[in-house]
């Protein structure tokens, strides 16, 4: 490991960026996102730097580099077009024990900028030790698709109640099991659906229930857990077969389902993305050859959900177009089973798109 990964609080930390081009601007904006105090030095700068200066976000000196400019800065970024100047900045910083990054030059850099996946307050940094920034960006894209944006809201909610949970459970293992149930259960589902107030109410109830259970341990009384996971059904569209056309939400639900009912048109590549230990049940239909009747499918969805399982109904295309998703939803409503519907790309639109034919066009 050449570079040690370290997260630091850069609030009001003095940082110097030397250079006025696109790369220097990118580094400046990254530092500003971390609430750093940024000074930019360059004889010529892009207009965006002037805008940042006029808005009071940076200090700007339009002049050539000199060693005296390094005084008072915690770290330095050299992003000039002159290799000789970058070399001089590196040597000057070395003598002053100031961490320095010379952009695109690992040999002259004591630190590097990783690819960042931001789900504030969750931050994930990915690095290839500077050997392949393009590969870092590709890997970041893959991670972006696997980590829903609402994870940040989930982390914020957990932070808000962390101390209360800590005071409720004396054992580290108890706290770990509690948070695992929160992050993988109904509370997390509510957060991912954008129902933050409902999620918080569930969390408050769960904490209160555990506090009551702790107080009543000596009496042997048991209370029903108001936050115990109930079953739920996910009616998910798998699209035309290409895994890259799945929605983020579809992929998330596929990876948390306990049992999966899938159609004939769901590709093997998409099936491979389902949680590995999930029970897979084939219910595909062909002319005069139905693996399971529609009523049997409806009944099975209800039955498994009533057992507290997370049930995935995985359909080719979209659940409500050329499918029986509407009938399944009606059955779930009738039996008071909670469910979610996740749209998928239907062949009605997908086929024409792949042929280059827009379904709507002004001409």
The rounded distance, in Å, linking the Cα atoms of 158 and 168 is 14
311 and 339, same structural domain? yes
Q: What is the dihedral of CA 308, 251, 158, 169, to 10 degrees?
A: 40
In a domain, 226, yes or no: no
Q: Which residues are catalytic?
A: 263, 285
Q: How many other β-carbons are positioned within 10 Å of the β-carbon of residue 247?
A: 17
Shared domain for 103 and 36, answered yes or no, is yes
Q: Are residues 257 and 287 in the same domain?
A: yes
Count of domains for the chain: 4
pLDDT tens for 149-174 read 899 999 999 999 999 999 988 888 78
Same domain, 236 and 347: yes
Rounded CA separation 137/148 (Å): 18
Per-residue model confidence (pLDDT) at position 29: 96
> Domain of 243: which CATH number?
3.40.1010.10
Which structure tokens are listed for 219?
């009496």
Which phi and psi (to 5°) does residue 102 adopt? -100, 115
Q: Does residue 131 belong to any structural domain of this protein?
A: yes
User: Is 360 part of any domain?
Assistant: no
Domain that holds residue 278: 232-351
Which residue in the block uniquely carries the two structure tokens 């929160």? 182
- Of 104, 132, 147, the one marking the end of a domain is 147
Question: Do 237 and 327 lie in a common domain?
Answer: yes
The percent of residues above 90 in pLDDT, for the chain, comes to: 59
Using the predicted structure, report yes or no on whether residue 229 has a pLDDT greater than 70.
Answer: no
SS3 99: coil
5-9, 204-208, 224-228, 317-321: segment of lowest average pLDDT: 224-228
323 and 243 in a single domain? The answer is: yes
* Residue 222 confidence (pLDDT) above 70: no
- Same-domain pairing of 303 and 341: yes
Instruction: Calculate the CA dihedral of residues 248, 252, 257, 262 and round it to 10 degrees.
Output: 20
Whether residue 32 contacts residue 58, with contact meaning beta carbons closer than 8 Å, is answered with yes
Q: Could you tell me if 71 and 35 lie in one domain? A: yes
Q: What is the pLDDT of residue 270?
A: 93
The count of other CB atoms within 10 Å of the CB of residue 159 is 10
333 and 248 belong to one structural domain: yes
Of residues 156 and 212, which shows the higher confidence score? 156
What is the length of the chain?
363
Strands 122-126 and 115-119, bridge-based pairing: antiparallel
240, 341: one domain: yes
CATH number at residue 125: 3.30.160.110
pLDDT at 202: 94
- Examine residue 122 and state whether it is found in any structural domain, yes or no: yes
> Is the previous residue joined to 121 through a cis bond, with omega within 30 degrees of 0?
yes
Q: Which of 113, 136, 165 is the last residue of a domain?
A: 113
Is 36 a domain residue?
yes
Please identify, among 64, 89, 113, the residue that sits at the C-terminal boundary of a domain.
113
Instruction: Tell me whether residue 79 is in a domain.
Output: yes
What is the helix (H) or strand (E) element at residue 317, kind and residue range? none
Q: What is the largest CA-CA distance in the chain?
A: 84
Share of the chain above pLDDT 70, in %: 95
From CA 308, how far away is CA 231, in angstroms rounded?
4
For residue 3, is it within any domain? no
Residue 120 and residue 109 share a domain: no
Note the pLDDT tens digit of each residue in 27-72.
Answer: 999 999 999 999 999 999 999 999 999 999 999 999 999 999 999 9
| Judgement on whether residues 215 and 162 belong to the same structural domain of the protein | yes
Contact status, residue 284 vs residue 262, Cβ threshold 8 Å:
yes
- Residue 225 placed within a domain: no
């Amino acid at each position: 490991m050449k570079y040690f990964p370290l997260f630091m609080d850069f609030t009001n930390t003095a940082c110097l960026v030397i250079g006025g081009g696109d790369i220097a601007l990118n580094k400046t904006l990254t530092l500003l996102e971390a609430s750093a105090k940024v000074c930019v030095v360059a004889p010529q700068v892009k207009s965006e730097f002037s805008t940042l200066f006029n808005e009071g976000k940076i200090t700007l000196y339009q002049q050539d580099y000199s060693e005296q400019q390094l005084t008072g800065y915690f770290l330095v970024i050299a992003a000039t077009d002159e290799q000789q100047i970058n070399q001089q900045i590196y040597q000057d910083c070395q003598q002053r024990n100031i961490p320095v990054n010379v952009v695109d030059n690992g040999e002259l850099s004591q630190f590097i900028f990783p690819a960042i996946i931001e789900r504030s307050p969750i931050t994930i940094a990915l690095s290839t030790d500077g050997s392949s920034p393009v590969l870092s960006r590709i890997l970041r894209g893959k991670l972006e698709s696997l980590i829903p944006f609402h994870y940040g809201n989930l982390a914020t909610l957990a932070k808000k109640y962390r101390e209360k949970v800590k005071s409720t459970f004396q054992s580290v293992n108890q706290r770990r099991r509690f948070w695992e149930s929160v992050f993988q259960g109904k509370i997390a589902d509510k957060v991912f659906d954008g129902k933050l107030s409902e999620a918080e109410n569930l969390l408050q109830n769960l904490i209160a229930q555990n506090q009551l259970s702790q107080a009543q341990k000596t009496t042997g009384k048991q209370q029903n857990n108001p936050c115990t996971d109930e079953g739920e059904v996910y009616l998910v569209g798998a699209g035309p077969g290409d895994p890259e056309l799945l929605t983020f939400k579809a992929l998330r639900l596929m990876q948390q389902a306990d049992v999966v009912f899938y159609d004939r048109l769901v590709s093997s590549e998409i099936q491979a993305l389902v949680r590995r230990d999930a029970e897979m049940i084939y219910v595909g239909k062909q002319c005069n050859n139905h693996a399971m009747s529609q009523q049997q499918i409806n009944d099975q969805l209800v039955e498994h959900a009533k057992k507290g399982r997370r049930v995935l109904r995985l359909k080719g295309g979209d659940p409500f177009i050329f499918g029986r998703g509407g009938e399944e939803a009606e059955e779930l409503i009738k039996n008071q089973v909670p469910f979610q519907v996740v749209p998928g790309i239907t062949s009605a639109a997908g086929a024409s798109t792949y042929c280059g034919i827009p379904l709507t066009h002004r001409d």
